[in-house]
Chains A and B, each alone.
Chain A
Amino acid sequence: MTTQSLAEDREIRRITLSHKLNRWDMKVSPYLYVSPFFILFILTGLFPLLYTAYVSVFDWHIIGGQGDFAGSGNFEWVLGQDKFWVALRNSFSIFLISAIPQVILALIIAAILDQNLRAKTFWRMGVLVPYVVAPVAVALIFSNMFGDQYGLVNNALGRIGIDPVGWHSQVLPSHFAIATMVNFRWTGYNALIFLAAMQAVPRDYYEAAMLDGANRIRQFFSITIPSLRPTLIFVIITSTIGGLQIFDEPRMYDTTGAGGASSQWLTITMYIYNLGFGPAGGGQFGRAAAAAWLLFLIIIVVGLINLAATRTIATSGSRSSK
């Protein structure tokens, strides 16, 4: 080989190297930039998830630690417990009682806030105030109000001649009371999200509708709601996940946090917590981990159903808007 060709070769190699580096930069850098999220996710999301799966196949005591291998024993045990199914029923029931009125109320509040009000910012901040209150404080106040014998609500009902309601002893009333706390806290929050979305709707639509003679209510259903579709979907999915994981409010609904004498308001997360840490039958980490994984699977299933429903709505939405 001649010296000239060697030099040429080196030159080409140098180009390819920097070229390669350049290509790596293009390929790898974006991943590096987003990597903090994934590293955090692996540490705080994925690792606990996998470790919980590991714990769920062993007998595992809170103090004693890892015990014998149990295989699917813990899962079978949990599925065979009446309490698990009652807790599942309660979670879904509280979720439905809270989510549906919440979304409707939030939409109405947002629509009102979207009007030309005086002291706009004051009202908009106002609806967020309940969200700032700690959930535990909310629960303490509400559980006092919903006392069976000496509660404020039953007192008021008594004044107008209605029999006291068993807010703690009966299943549905207890769910209703807990849903009230959830709604108190989250309605304003969701209303602000809706409000933000509503403000993004072009004002021309409304002007055109007004010229066509549509009244406010017609405008709301024919313009506002369809434009809010993606936001609606977001709110519904987040409140589904939040609703199935509801814990603070029912936990603080009475002083012992056991969910009632016949598990009237025991939710699935409370069931898991009580298995793992609770005074009655606590310390069973293996079984708690199995129940936690079952909840994870349930949320995934519900999430998939949501996604499917969302897709149909989204496609029909885009078609109708054209």
Chain B
Amino acid sequence: MSKSRRTTAVAAIAGAAAFALLAAGCSSSATPGADEEVTELTLATFNDFGYTDEMLAEYTELTGIEIVHNKAATSGDARTNYFTKLGAGSGLADVEAVEIDWFAELLQYSDKLYDLSNDEVADRWVQWKTDAATDADGRLIAYGTDIGPQAICYRSDLFAEAGLPTDREEVAAMIDGDWDAYFAAGEEFVANSDAAWFDSSGAILQGILNQEEETLESTDGEIIATTNPVVEDAYNTVLDASPELSAHLSQWSDDWSAGFANGAFATMLCPSWMLGVIEGNAPEVEGWDVANVFPNGGGNWGGSYLTVPAQSEKAEAAKAFADWLTDPEQQLKAFVSTGNFPSQTSLYEAEELLSVTRPYFNEAPTGEIFSDRSAAIEVAPYKSVNYFPVMDALQNAITRVDVDETQDADASWEQFVTDVEAIG
């Protein structure tokens, strides 16, 4: 799912096609000497990667290379742009950002991307981040940027009104446990409050499924979403809890955004990048806080990569730039600016990261909290080519019951089964 943000147009600069390089483009390394005199590189990202103009200006100062930065509003827009131009063979930026959820689809065409493996960066990232970016032939096709370790964000003011503890340590202790413990705390809350416990059933479902290894697809490439008991259990668990606890909002909808300011719900699953979303949606609200806890242990939601498309004529320079951008030092700056939590292991012990706090969230030590949360991540869910469409169908099934209230859980599941059959 995408982090929806303000619209900035996607502009793409189509370089003249270098036929020699295109022909050699499938090989893993660039032609030596091909990128002498690189004076300009293009970078394409979406939402907010935290790559500020100052940061890019710094790179220009270091190397003399001007950076043209194109931002897409949502990852969906970025995906459309990326896939279309990758197929067309021209028009992509020299360094292109991709999101984890459509990454697998891209891996099928990994020969259209440069191999970025390099001994100097080999141990830079958490292992599962690197593994996911390595294709079947062992080529590393992307550098990791951020990951989304999840915590629980909550409204301490609403907690206080309902007679619940407000201190983030006490809240963590109260919620600690499995998903049932989280829902039980919610029942206590809604008994004493007008607000709902969580924002969206779809989000909770995503939280549960991100803790499982095999969910929608089996590791041998079959779609198992409709027969996998893990999925059906998660579906039923969420929908059993939703009538009482859900704010009945569909994530990223206008109502959902308005719900933040209207105090519609008291808690939400909170990957690190969500902090910026909350702050943006409810700048006036006081009382948001982060608890160092997540139901059932740890979980990751989202995160992105940088790739260098084989159609780029400036492969070596682009590689060096991507390397610099995903260098721990730069990722730390991005974290401070937007809350995108780095995937670089050396940072997790670094004082600069651990000392980061966030004023809006009652001065919560977000550096420390998300460092802990990332250490708690044990499982990287297997996501392959059909992950995105199947997840979309599943989210629609939840929405029909929880938000639209046009179908009951059983009927909606049946339609989900039909929808998935159509995907094949």
Contacts and interface: CB of A to CB of B under 8 A. Distances in A.
Contacts of A283: 83, 105
Contacts of B388: 279-280
Contact of A281 (B109, B252, B264, B389): B389
Interface in B243-259: 248-250, 252-255, 258-259
B80 interface: yes
Q: Is the interface of A mostly helix, strand, loop or mixed?
A: loop
A63 B83 contact: yes
A258 interface: yes
A255 B252 CA distance: 6
A281 B388 CA distance: 8
Contact of A255 (B253, B400, B407, B415): B253
Nearest to A143: B254
A217 interface: no
Contacts of A81: 422
Contacts of B400: 261-262
A144 interface: yes
B109 A64 contact: yes
Given A256-B252, A280-B393, A261 B83 contact: no
Contacts of B255: 147-151, 168
A322 to B, nearest CB: 56
Taking each of A61, A151, A262, A264, which has the highest tally of chain B beta carbons within 10 Å of its own beta carbon? Answer: A262
Contacts of A254: 250, 253-254
Nearest to B386: A281
Contact of B259 (A61, A150, A166, A256): A150
A306 B405 CA distance: 39
A116 B129 CA distance: 72
A65 B84 CA distance: 10
A170 B82 CA distance: 34
Contact of B404 (A150, A166, A278): A166
Contacts, number: 102
B261 to A, nearest CB: 9
A255 B250 CA distance: 10
Contact of B406 (A65, A82, A148, A170): A170
B402 to A, nearest CB: 9
Contacts of A256: 2, 76, 252
A62 B87 contact: yes
A258 B392 contact: yes
A262 B406 contact: yes
Interface string A241-279: 000000000000011111011101000000000000111
A280 B392 contact: yes
Interface string B388-401: 11001101110110
A262 B80 contact: no
A277 B102 CA distance: 13
A10 B416 CA distance: 85
Contacts of A65: 87
Interface residues of A, number: 35
A230 B99 CA distance: 53
A283 B87 CA distance: 10
A149 B249 contact: yes
A279 B404 contact: no
Nearest to A82: B418
B248 to A, nearest CB: 8
B392 A255 contact: no
A77 to B, nearest CB: 9
Contacts of B418: 82
Given A144-B254, A147-B255, A262 B415 contact: yes
A147 B405 CA distance: 15
Interface string B92-119: 0000000000100100110010000000
Contacts of B254: 143-144, 147, 150-151, 254-255
A83 interface: yes
B416 to A, nearest CB: 10
A289 to B, nearest CB: 14
A169 B403 contact: yes
A277 to B, nearest CB: 5
A303 interface: no
A136 B304 CA distance: 28
Contacts of B76: 256-257, 279
Given A261-B396, A261-B399, A169 B406 contact: yes
Interface in A159-179: 166, 168-170
A282 interface: yes
A134 B159 CA distance: 43
Nearest to B89: A65
B405 A63 contact: no
Interface in B374-424: 388-389, 392-393, 395-397, 399-400, 403-407, 415, 418, 422-423
B406 A64 contact: no
A170 B407 CA distance: 11
B422 A83 contact: yes
B253 A168 contact: yes
B139 interface: no
A158 B219 CA distance: 51
A151 B108 CA distance: 43
A279 B102 contact: yes
A258 B254 CA distance: 15
A149 to B, nearest CB: 5
B87 A280 contact: no
A144 to B, nearest CB: 5
B390 to A, nearest CB: 9
> Which 3 residue pairs spanning A and B have beta carbons closest together?
A169-B404, A280-B392, A261-B399
24 contacts: A62-B83, A62-B87, A63-B87, A63-B112, A147-B253, A147-B258, A149-B259, A150-B255, A168-B253, A168-B404, A169-B405, A169-B406, A254-B253, A255-B253, A255-B254, A261-B403, A261-B406, A262-B406, A262-B415, A279-B80, A279-B102, A280-B392, A280-B393, A281-B389
Given A169-B404, A262-B396, 14 more contacts: A63-B83, A63-B86, A82-B418, A148-B255, A149-B259, A169-B403, A170-B404, A170-B406, A254-B254, A255-B252, A258-B392, A262-B400, A279-B388, A283-B105
